[in-house]
Structure 1
């Protein structure tokens, strides 16, 4: 889009004033002040009950990143040797955020706050976010002693941007889990602004807030699990009841179309969309069975392809396959990379 000097100036002002605060409400002082007792209580619980270790890390841009580490390596169980790094949502803090999920599973966990959130300094623009993620990973490897292959990144909502940046930049990371995340910020920004603002919003997002999670995700070769929340009001472009407008669908489709382009042809995509449109587990199972998916056959096809070629994505599997075979494989792949029909987490 062509943008003249006044447009550039207005975009800059929008991004650095209300735009950033709308995108990351957790950086707003009034919200932090209202949540302070809850954050203090959550931090105390992590330190006292979970023996958490709080550290301030200095990113390459000078921002101080507040972190909390819970070490489970000396405890019994298999999961403690794996470190889960948590990336919070746009109003989330490690004190009351998604650290609890891997903690309950017995994993070692490292949480951190976005720049400008609670104990972290700075402002959460994309490059500052990436810098924060970078210093957190460096800390995990060089100070805490974890190998990249022992690290799983788990992200909630907008945390998918830093999480996808992490696995793109550190491809040896073991796996990635994205919960209620989206593919691209622009469609979500356009839905809340007047149509007449479309050129300005497009320029502002692309220039200053380009959260291109799908693009980054497609540069990662490791295991990915996506979780879509039903009735999600934040990452749908029409309304929470319209499941197909959930941008988590687009994130999944872009990933599968990159990794398995010969499977995700027009017919494969149609089959996947029918599965994604299911509004409950019964409908989901009905779609899956209507295509007569043979799970054992799908596993053998993928395993033999990987054994014979052992190549990086994108794969050419499905190139010489029948239409029915491609549809089966497409549905098998989506079901094994995607969890949905989960209710949004309750707020406490």
Structure 2
């Protein structure tokens, strides 16, 4: 304890000398020093806050923040202490049982242990003060913390612009937009509405008996989904993976900000989760693509820093990317309700803060992002179009693929109750243009393997969509020829099937336009009911090729900008 008191006295002496050496009022200096002690980690300085003109900012390279030696060492000590605390917290039941068996949990031994823990905490407090003092002596950090505190007091556009020059712990980033600013009184903290699976009709006594009988299944399902289940489905939410990817994510974020003048924003969803977003504005560049906003929904291990956001960005569109709850700077966990709440506040931000109309927005998703994208299209039917890349119709068949057959009833209950990613059901509620991109060598959303292109769940998504929109065309014969076309694994086979049925594109377009002009254009359409079998075949193949494009690659290959197209419009 004497060593600790001596350590703190020396620290106090060094701090007082530093304060006297600076020409700053004691009160202000003390406040800034305290903020340096409690302030966030600073990772990168994208550009100097003094570079105010946009033309001088774009393309300017930033630099990584260089902490001094003492700050680096004290930061390392506090980092190790945090890791040990986390490990102790999660292993506390086992640790307490072990200590109890060894007889350490008794009054005679708890007192010296508590004294030891208290000494360690005081030492860590001293380390934190030392780190704050070293930060206070660093001009870059002192300038950053001053801007951060000024922005928290006065969140003006000028202060926000200065703060965006820094990359730091997003937890400390002030909020830029909240769901309450959207003016939607019908929305509450309960969240937005989701499509629920249809309940089975039972009698009152039968229902009570069934609830009692299935109670163990409910408990096991809850434990599974809140432990390894959610992490298996969304591995990007695992802290260890994010820590391993941190250098790559920081590099990707620096590229978006420094090369494309991206704007990072924090959005607060109705459930209280804070959503990390990145917006690149191309409207000032002119052109139709720049005036169109593409909202990107990432995969289960994707982040906007290194994900599908780069595809429309290279295509010249304005782009808004966001991270799932629990990914990157976003808080929360990626359950379906939280995902939908996050997507809702992203769209509200795009329309109320960024100034885009819903008719100027394309929703683009990769893989599991198809859930939030299809939810957005269902909930905001005025959006311009929807593009789903390497997505699936329903999560259940893919979950059954990776689980033992003996677990089938438990997997069905868990997915339907907690992780019901029913993309197809949501997609059928949308009336606008849709483009599906299928990876012909996809190894993730196939149920038997990448060599069997017919087991790709994107096929089911297309068939369900066509059967709903064009039921008279998608009869048994229409489904058969579309399946034959889907069985083609490359462009040559696809073209061979298409030419084998002698599809006349001009005739198909004229038939559909004639139907659209004479009737209400709301799906489902009855076009094809008075048509020959050959005509229905042609229309089925024509529509399949318009709604789906093949890309001969694997699931995780980034989509080139040349393969990103606006969906077909009649």
TM over 0.5: yes
Residue among 212, 223, 226 paired with 2:436: 226
Is 1:139 the equivalent of 2:139?
no
Aligned to 1:12: 222
1:69 aligns with 2:290: no
More helix, by proportion: 2
SS of equivalent to 2:284: coil
In the other structure, the counterpart of 2:237 is 27
Cα distance in 2 between the residues matched to 1:23 and 1:81:
35
SS of aligned partner of 1:241:
coil
Q: CA deviation at 1:78?
A: 2.3
- The answer to whether structure 1 residue 153 and structure 2 residue 392 are counterparts is no
SS for the counterpart of 2:304 is coil
Aligned counterpart for 1:214 among listed residues 420, 424, 431: 424
**Which residue of 377, 400, 413 corresponds with 1:190?**
400
Query: Match of 1:251?
Result: 461
Give distance in 1, aligned partners of 2:490 and 2:290: 34
Shift of 1:223: 0.2
CA distances 1:109-156 after superposition (whole Å, capped 9, x unpaired):
000000000100000000000000000000000000000000000000
1:303 is matched with 513
1:332 correspondence with 2:537: no
Larger radius of gyration: 2
Q: Does the CA-based 8 Å contact 1:279-1:341 persist in structure 2?
A: no
Using the alignment, how far apart are the partners of 1:105 and 1:195 within structure 2?
A: 44
Q: Specify which of 41, 48, 58 is matched with residue 258 of structure 2.
A: 48
In the other structure, the counterpart of 2:414 is: 204
> Helix, strand or coil for the counterpart of 1:81?
coil
Which residue is 2:323 aligned to? 113
**Residue 280 (structure 1) shift:** 1.3
Conserved 8 A contact 1:191-1:237: yes
Q: Map Cα deviations across residues 238-287 of structure 1 (whole Å, 9 max, x no partner).
A: 00110000000000000000000000000000000000001211111111
Structure 1: give runs of 5+ residues left out of the alignment: none
**Structure 2 residues not aligned, in runs of 5+:** 1-199, 201-209, 559-570
Shift of 1:310: 2.9
Task: Give the Cα–Cα distance (whole angstroms) in 2 for the partners of residues 76 and 174 of structure 1.
Answer: 19
Q: Contact between 2:279 and 2:319, CA under 8 Å: does it hold in 1?
A: yes
Cα separation, 2, equivalents of 1:79 and 1:302: 27
1:292 is displaced (CA, Å) by 1.0
2:373 aligned residue (146, 163, 172) = 163
In structure 2, C-alpha distance between the alignment counterparts of 1:310 and 1:176, rounded to whole Å: 22
Q: TM-score, normalised by structure 2?
A: 0.60
| Whole-angstrom distance in 2 between the partners of 1:50 and 1:239 | 39
Deviation string 1:71-120 (CA, Å, 9 cap, x unpaired) is 00010322110000000000000000011111111110000000000100
SS at match of 1:80: coil
Tell me the equivalent position of 2:294: 84
Contact 1:70 1:110 in 2 (8 A): yes
- 1:177 is aligned to 2:387: yes
C-alpha contact (below 8 Å) 1:227/1:339 kept by paired residues: yes
Residues 1:318 and 2:507 are matched in the alignment: no
Question: CA–CA distance in 2 between the matches of 1:250 and 1:18?
Answer: 28
Give the distance between the partners of 1:127 and 1:341, measured in 2 at CA: 31
Q: Secondary structure at the match of 1:111?
A: strand
C-alpha separation in 2, matches of 1:117 and 1:287: 43
In the alignment, is the contact (CA less than 8 A) between 1:174 and 1:222 conserved in 2?
yes
* SS of 2:483 mapped into structure 1: helix
Equivalent residue pairs, number: 347
CA contact (8 A) 2:434 2:547 kept: yes
CA distance in 2, matches of 1:80, 1:61: 32
Residue number in structure 1 paired with 2:472:
262
Compute the displacement of 1:230 (Å). 1.6
